[in-house]
Amino acid sequence: MSSAEPRFKRILLKLSGEALMGNGSYGIDPETLDRVTQEIKQARDIGTEVCVVVGAGNIFRGLKGAASGIDRATADYMGMLATVMNALALQSALERIGVHTRVQSAIPMASVSEPYIRRRAIRHLEKGRVVIFAAGTGNPFFTTDTAAALRAAEMNCNALLKGTQVDGVYNADPKKDPSAVRYETLTYMDVLRQDLKVMDASAISLSRENNIPIVVFSIHSENALVNVLQGKGTCTIVSGE
C-alpha cells in the first residue's frame, strides 16, 4: 500500500446496511464485515481520522416497515435500533484488528454505547480512535444519509465518503442499463436538479450549506477507500459550483 498523503484529514464514511450483507440477502456477512473494517484500518493508518455512520437496510428499513402497516415513526425507531446492531458489529470487528473504536448512539443505550456528545466524539477522533455514530439522528423521518451529513458537519469533516454498490454516480442504474455513464464530478445543484440518487435531498442540502464534498465510490473494490483518499480511486465527487 502506498504511503501517499491522504487528501482529506478527517472524513465521515457513510456505509449502507446492504454493504455489510455481501452476497447474502439479509444480515451481516462476516467476510464482508472483515474486509470493510480492513479498509477503515488502512485509511486510519495513512493518517486520516475516520468516523462512520452505518445504515440498517440489511436488518430493518423504516420505510419498508411503514409500508407493511407499522406506524411510520415507530418503524423509523426500529430502523435506528437496527443501526446500533450494525455499529456494534463494526466495533467488534475493528477492535479485533487493533483499531480502537467508540460507538456513540443518538438514542441513549448506556449498556452498549456512549451517548452522542459532539465534543467527546471530536476528542476520540483526535486520539486516533474510529467513532461509529449509531441510531441516525435519533429522530424519525430522517434517513441515515441525513445523519451522515449532519455528523460530518458537526465533526468538521473535510469530506463525506459514501461507500456504495457501484463506483460512483451514474445517469442510470449501471446494473440495469449497460450504457449508463458515470460522472467524474457533479455540483450539489446538479444532483438536486436531476434527482440523482446519491443521497436524499436533505443530506445534499446540508452538505452544500457546509461546503462538504461528497465522494461516492464502491466499497466492494479492494483498497477502494485508501485509493480514493490518495486520489487514485474511481469515484464521483459532488461539490460546489
Binding residues: 14-17, 57, 61, 76, 137-144, 164-165, 170, 173
**CA-to-CA distance for 151 and 92, rounded, in angstroms?**
22
Which residues lie closer than 8 Å to 235 by C-beta, 6 or more apart? 167, 168, 215, 216, 217, 228
Q: Output the known binding site for UMP.
A: 76, 137-144
Strand partners for 237: 185, 215
Burial zone of 105 (CB within 10 Å; 0-12 exposed, 13-18 middle, 19+ buried): buried
Q: Output the known binding site for ATP.
A: 14-17, 57, 61, 164-165, 170, 173
- 101-105 and 130-134 beta bridge pairing: parallel
Whether 162 and 237 have beta carbons less than 8 Å apart is answered as no
Reference 4, options 38, 43, 40, 39; nearest CA is 43
**CA-to-CA distance for 44 and 109, rounded, in angstroms?**
27
- 214-218 and 185-187 beta bridge pairing: unpaired
